[in-house]
């Protein structure tokens, strides 16, 4: 039967609950257990799909087409287990299920209430779709004490009571701030946070204490005593240089062994950390480094491009090099002189994005990469803008643009109104709701035998995750091809261009999908590995 591990957070947000959950998942997996990681998000949006990246960071898309929290990306990168729609449980989704049932009359005349109807619905979501799972790790978003989190905390409290303490473990992540004037790490915020948790009926079994320095024995004892947690289950979670060091660092502090002891698992299998050790070694001792310029709109908040940044690091791992990321706001390229900022980079990447702001700047970055033979990687919007750049500057289609930016004379990028999804045809119009209506999730693409990408993937049929509303307008295919743009991948029905590349350039590839979502440190995505390889070659030239 599945065992449940609930991970809550206190003191402040952004302590890395997602990473801690992902790391514990990896540690249990290294001992041969099967894991599933899930996120409960107490906000009222049905999913983060309609939220600005500035509010919420990246929207992570699953194979089955759900738009989810970026923590699901950490889970997948650390465990390799593909996240599913059922792994993302928001208050918005729960309430919409409950209200739909109420309208249908399913509650048979009863008064519908947070307890038991909302909490029951949360419990149902937590326990559904978990076949063949030894451990379900469930992270609760926000911090203890948030009003909107209360139904979630109540639901997990009930699960602890109903399933028994040997089936459920409560992990609480806190912060020990260092106060320079006192020269001490302070335990009081942790004590208060645990008090808050206990006031709603949850006694944590294990505390994970974030700290920027060693935690003195006296402090650890104090936390154990005042928080009612055994001393060896007050686990120091010290800062590390790379997120990929987190699993082993937690293991060294006894995290996984204490988790297994809680569940009374007597003789656990020995962990196999070989792939993690290899990753850490490469990160700590790279043989060189490359500079990659990422020209985007949300460069002020790196969480907006979380998977992308990680996939570039993975591309570095595949080539034994470190990757320096230079985040460049596309707006600056609206003035000509700023383009020189790109002189020092060995590869230029224009990531996915929405809306017109910054588009002209990004197009200037494409021109720079194309004319200077600098490796160029365009992802989703970055591919669409590369197509517009060729249309305008080589094919001579002066007013080429995307209808996403307003009505235009030559829509080389247009609204996607119909596509094949399995045996179903999806249809859209410009009047549809914005939430959940894009072309989302995994779709196959067939690669052209003479393409560069087929050599990179070493496969003819690929599957990648999508999140877009616009597409390359096939009516311009001939003009674009004559201008040197090669269509190297299509949807299996041959209707939707999925990949473009330039044959007159060392490395110029644009993809309509998001390959960054599937890259793993122990299995770098082939396109990122190849792009960084090209950047390494470029660095030798300059
Ligand atoms: N805005 C573009 C579209 O909807 C690109 C989307 C993206 O980059 N994810 O097609």
- Domains annotated for the chain, with CATH where assigned, are 3-279 (3.40.50.300), 287-541 (3.40.50.880)
- Expressed in angstroms and rounded, the spacing between residue 469 Cα and the centre of ligand 1 is 6
Is the distance from the beta carbon of residue 468 to the nearest atom of ligand 1 less than 6 Å? yes
Q: Whose CA is nearest to atom 6 of ligand 1?
A: 468
pLDDT band, residue 417 (cuts 50/70/90): confident
d(CA 226, CA 231): 11
pLDDT band, residue 13 (cuts 50/70/90): confident
- Expressed in angstroms and rounded, the spacing between residue 470 Cα and the centre of ligand 1 is 6
- The mean pLDDT of 275-294, rounded to a whole number, is 94
Is the distance from the beta carbon of residue 353 to the nearest atom of ligand 1 less than 6 Å? yes
Q: Which atom of ligand 1 is nearest to the CA of 416?
A: 10
Q: Which of 53, 294, 469 to mutate to test the pocket of ligand 1 (most atoms within 8 A of CB)?
A: 469
Is the distance from the beta carbon of residue 470 to the nearest atom of ligand 1 less than 6 Å? yes
pLDDT tens string 181-221: 989 999 999 999 999 999 999 999 999 999 999 999 999 99
37 and 201 Cβ atoms separated by less than 8 Å:
no
d(CA 470, CA 57): 22
- The mean pLDDT of 408-436, rounded to a whole number, is 85
Q: Where are the beta strands (DSSP E) in 448-526?
A: 461-468, 470-472, 485-490, 497-502, 508-511
**Residue whose entry in the numeric block shows the structure tokens 């593909």:** 82
Q: Give the residue from 522, 30, 11 showing the smallest Cα distance to 259.
A: 30
| Residues facing residue 293 across a β-bridge | 326, 348
Is the distance from the beta carbon of residue 354 to the nearest atom of ligand 1 less than 6 Å? yes
382 and 336 Cβ atoms separated by less than 8 Å:
no
Catalytic site includes residue 404: no
Lowest mean pLDDT among 90-99, 167-176, 426-435, 441-450: 426-435
220 and 195 Cβ atoms separated by less than 8 Å:
no
Lowest mean pLDDT among 51-55, 474-478, 530-534: 51-55
pLDDT confidence of residue 337: 72
Q: Whose CA is nearest to atom 8 of ligand 1?
A: 352
- The mean pLDDT of 417-442, rounded to a whole number, is 84
Catalytic site includes residue 399: no
- Expressed in angstroms and rounded, the spacing between residue 353 Cα and the centre of ligand 1 is 6
Catalytic residue (choose from 209, 380, 471, 505)? 380
Q: Give the residue from 190, 477, 139 showing the smallest Cα distance to 488.
A: 477
pLDDT confidence of residue 250: 96
Kindly tell me the sign of the dihedral angle through the C-alpha atoms of 309, 310, 312, 316: positive
Q: Which atom of ligand 1 is nearest to the CA of 469?
A: 4
Q: Which atom of ligand 1 is nearest to the CA of 382?
A: 8
Residue 429: is it exposed, middle or buried by C-beta count within 10 angstroms (0-12/13-18/19+)?
exposed
Q: Which distant-in-sequence residues (6+ apart) come within 8 Å of 84 by Cβ?
A: 62, 63, 64, 66, 129
d(CA 272, CA 252): 14
Q: Where are the beta strands (DSSP E) in 428-542?
A: 439-447, 461-468, 470-472, 485-490, 497-502, 508-511
- Expressed in angstroms and rounded, the spacing between residue 476 Cα and the centre of ligand 1 is 19
Over the chain, what is the mean pLDDT?
94
Is the distance from the beta carbon of residue 381 to the nearest atom of ligand 1 less than 6 Å? yes
Q: Whose CA is nearest to atom 9 of ligand 1?
A: 352
Residue 267 has pLDDT above 80, yes or no: no
Q: Which of 352, 403, 434 to mutate to test the pocket of ligand 1 (most atoms within 8 A of CB)?
A: 352
pLDDT tens string 228-262: 999 999 999 999 999 999 999 999 999 999 999 99
pLDDT tens string 75-110: 999 999 999 999 999 999 999 999 999 999 999 889
Helix axes 91-104, 119-127, angle to 10 degrees: 110
pLDDT band, residue 120 (cuts 50/70/90): very high
pLDDT confidence of residue 542: 67
Q: Which atom of ligand 1 is nearest to the CA of 351?
A: 8
Phi, psi (degrees; rounded to nearest 5) at 82: -65, 125
- Give pTM, 2 decimals: 0.94
Catalytic site includes residue 117: no
Alpha helix (H) residue ranges in 80-134 = 91-104, 119-127
């Amino acid at each position: 039967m599945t065992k449940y591990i609930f991970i809550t957070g206190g003191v402040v947000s952004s302590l890395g609950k997602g990473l801690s959950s992902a790391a514990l998942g990896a540690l249990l997996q290294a001992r041969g257990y099967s894991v599933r990681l899930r996120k409960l998000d107490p906000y009222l949006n049905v999913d983060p799909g309609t939220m600005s990246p500035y509010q919420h960071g990246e929207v992570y898309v699953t194979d089955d087409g759900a738009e989810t929290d970026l923590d699901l990306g950490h889970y997948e990168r650390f465990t390799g287990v593909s996240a599913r729609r059922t792994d993302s449980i928001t208050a918005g989704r729960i309430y919409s299920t409950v209200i739909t049932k109420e309208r249908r009359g399913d509650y048979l005349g009863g008064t519908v209430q947070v307890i038991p109807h909302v909490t029951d619905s949360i419990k149902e979501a937590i326990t559904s779709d978990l076949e063949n799972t030894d451990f379900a790790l469930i992270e609760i978003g926000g911090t203890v004490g948030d009003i909107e989190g209360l139904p979630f905390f109540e639901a997990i409290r009930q699960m602890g009571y109903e399933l028994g303490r040997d089936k459920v473990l409560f992990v609480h992540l806190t912060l020990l701030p260092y106060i320079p004037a006192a020269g001490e790490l302070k335990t009081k915020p942790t004590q208060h946070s645990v008090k808050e948790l206990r006031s709603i009926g949850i006694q944590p079994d294990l505390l994970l204490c974030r700290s920027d320095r060693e935690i003195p024995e006296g402090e650890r004892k104090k936390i154990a005593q005042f928080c009612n947690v055994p001393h060896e289950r007050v686990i120091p979670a010290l800062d590390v240089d790379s997120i990929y060091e987190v699993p082993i660092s937690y293991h060294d502090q006894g995290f996984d062994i204490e988790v297994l002891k809680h569940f009374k698992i007597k003789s656990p299998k020995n962990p196999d950390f070989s792939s993690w050790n290899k990753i850490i070694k490469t990160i700590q001792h790279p043989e060189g480094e490359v500079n990659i310029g990422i020209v985007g709109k949300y460069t002020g908040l790196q969480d907006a491009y979380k998977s992308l940044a990680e996939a570039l690091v993975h591309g570095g791992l595949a080539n034994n090099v470190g990757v320096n990321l230079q985040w460049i706001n596309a707006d600056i390229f609206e003035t000509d002189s700023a383009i020189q900022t790109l002189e020092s980079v060995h590869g230029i990447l224009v990531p996915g994005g929405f809306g017109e702001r910054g588009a002209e700047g990004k197009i200037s970055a494409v021109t720079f990469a194309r004319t200077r033979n600098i490796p160029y990687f365009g992802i989703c919007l970055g591919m669409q803008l590369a197509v517009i750049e060729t249309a305008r500057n080589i094919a001579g289609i002066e007013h080429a643009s995307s209808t996403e930016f307003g009505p235009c004379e030559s829509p080389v990028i247009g609204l996607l109104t119909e596509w094949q999804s399995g045996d179903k045809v999806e249809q859209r119009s410009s009047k549809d709701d914005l939430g959940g209506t894009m072309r989302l999730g995994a779709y196959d693409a067939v690669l052209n035998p003479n393409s560069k990408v087929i050599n990179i993937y070493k496969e003819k049929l690929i599957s990648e995750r999508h999140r877009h509303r616009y597409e390359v307008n096939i009516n311009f295919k001939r003009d674009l091809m004559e201008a040197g743009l090669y269509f190297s991948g299509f949807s299996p029905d041959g209707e939707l261009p999925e990949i473009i590349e330039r044959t007159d350039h060392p490395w110029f590839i644009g993809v309509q999908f998001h390959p960054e979502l599937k890259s793993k440190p122990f299995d770098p995505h082939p396109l990122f590995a190849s792009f960084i390889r090209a950047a390494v070659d470029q660095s030798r030239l300059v």
